[in-house]
Amino acid sequence: MAMTTALVAFATRNGSTQQVAEDIAETLSLEGIQVDCRPARTVREPLRRYDLVVLGAPLYNGRWHRDARRFLKRHRTGLPPIAVFGVGPRTDHGPTWLRSREQLDRALAKFPWIMPTTVALFGGVDPPGRRNRRDLRDWVAIRTWTHRLTQFTARHTPPSF
């Protein structure tokens, strides 16, 4: 398998989405993929050197973080295959998860030019300083999703000569 490269771009307010992005980057790296992990707002150059982009951002008040939205607008053309994740619910109720997924789907619908290879929603974390802070991030689910990304990348990597 030829070496592949991936960009893990993230938006974050309190750092929890960055932690998820860093875990995804580490998992991809362990799978033999060369990874850059950066805040989405800092990615200004063309993305042609990447075989895969992973873009993640939190959902706040029904909206996906603006840095992720701006990333998609900025890279409207020349976007390699993209996988998307949102970090959302902080309560573990079925309706809360459904609402968060609907919010993420609505956000992505505003960018009809992208066709994500996969979209995931992970649990969120209460802001720092809160008593009895809840953390619904499921690290096993995050790593399982990431491993599936490596399988996608391996299938879509052109042969080297």
Q: Which domains does the chain have, with CATH numbers?
A: 5-127+140-155 (3.40.50.360)
How many Cα neighbours within 13 Å face the side chain of 131?
Answer: 0
- The pLDDT-based confidence of 155 (bands split at 50, 70, 90) is low
* 3: confidence class by pLDDT, cuts 50, 70, 90: very low
Q: Which of these, 89, 139, 79, 145, lies nearest to 115 by C-alpha position? A: 79
Give the containing element (helix H, strand E) for 147: helix 139-155
Task: Answer yes or no: is pLDDT of 156 > 60.
Answer: no
pLDDT for 126: 83
> What is the distance between the alpha carbons of residues 73 and 77, in angstroms, rounded to a whole number?
9
Residue 20 binned pLDDT confidence (cut-offs 50, 70, 90): very high
Work out the average pLDDT over 119-128. Answer: 89
Give the pair of three-digit tokens for residue 78. Answer: 């020349």
pLDDT for res 160: 37
Average pLDDT over residues 125-152: 87
pLDDT per residue as tens digits for the range 22-71: 999 999 999 999 999 999 999 999 999 999 999 999 998 878 999 999 99
Average pLDDT over residues 115-133: 88
The pTM of the whole model exceeds 0.75:
yes
pLDDT value, residue 62: 79
User: Per-residue pLDDT averaged across 84-110, rounded?
Assistant: 88
